[in-house]
Amino acid sequence: MRFRLTPRETSFYDMFAASADNIVTGSKLLMELLGADLSARAEIAERMRAAEHAGDDATHAIFHQLNSSFITPFDREDIYNLASSLDDIMDFMEEAVDLVVLYNVEELPKGVEQQIEVLARAADLTAEAMPHLRTLDNLTEYWIEVNRLENQADQIHRKLLAHLFNGKYEAIEVLKLKQIVDVLEEAADAFEHVANTVETIAVKES
């Protein structure tokens, strides 16, 4: 690692870790949604909305710290990209839950549970990785595995689309369900963006 003569702001590490922990909370709410009946979904959506607001607060705190810090632990652009991508994950997960409630979806198509399981695994890996930003050690397996999970998410998404367009569903139902599975796919993409940003930081700082 490159030797530095100047001190670095360390609170960024804690804020990134808190943001990632909040994403784990969101992924657990997604899992909870799978087993919930219609009457329980609104309450889960409310908790997800609160988690998304907490994520926004964490992102704004990072941006504020970035704007007020003379010295940062790594490039400002990378800090901004990492915070934004973490925020995107929460936004997409919250949107998916909200759509399920707003559209009054009685039954999610088979395969959505696989999408959510991939997101939950990526959330755990991301939360485990954030504390390692302090040293940038032991992160290679993290970004490799998240990229593998994103490829898996792509395959699940394509199968879900094929299922939705097999003629079983009414056209309006296809539109509703497709929007939900597309948003979950965007969440998987956002996890990959986080992992790619972490890799970029590690390469720059090596």
Cα 118–chain centre separation:
11
Task: Give 32-36's long-range contacts (Cβ < 8 A, gap of 24+).
Answer: 33/97, 33/100, 33/116, 34/108, 34/112, 34/113, 34/116
User: For the whole model, what pTM was predicted?
Assistant: 0.92
Which pLDDT score is estimated for 79?
Answer: 96
Q: Cα 119–121–124 angle (5° rounding)?
A: 110
Alpha helices per DSSP H over the chain:
11-34, 38-68, 76-102, 112-129, 140-164, 171-205
According to the model, what pLDDT value does residue 184 have?
A: 98
pLDDT tens-digit readout, 146-200: 999 999 999 999 999 999 999 889 999 999 999 999 999 999 999 999 999 999 9
Provide the residue count of the chain.
Answer: 206
What is the model's pLDDT at position 69?
86
8-60 pLDDT tens trace:
456 899 999 999 999 999 999 999 998 898 889 999 999 999 999 999 999 99
What is the per-residue pLDDT across 83-128, written as a single tens digit (0 to 9) for each? 999 999 999 999 999 999 999 998 899 899 999 999 999 999 999 9
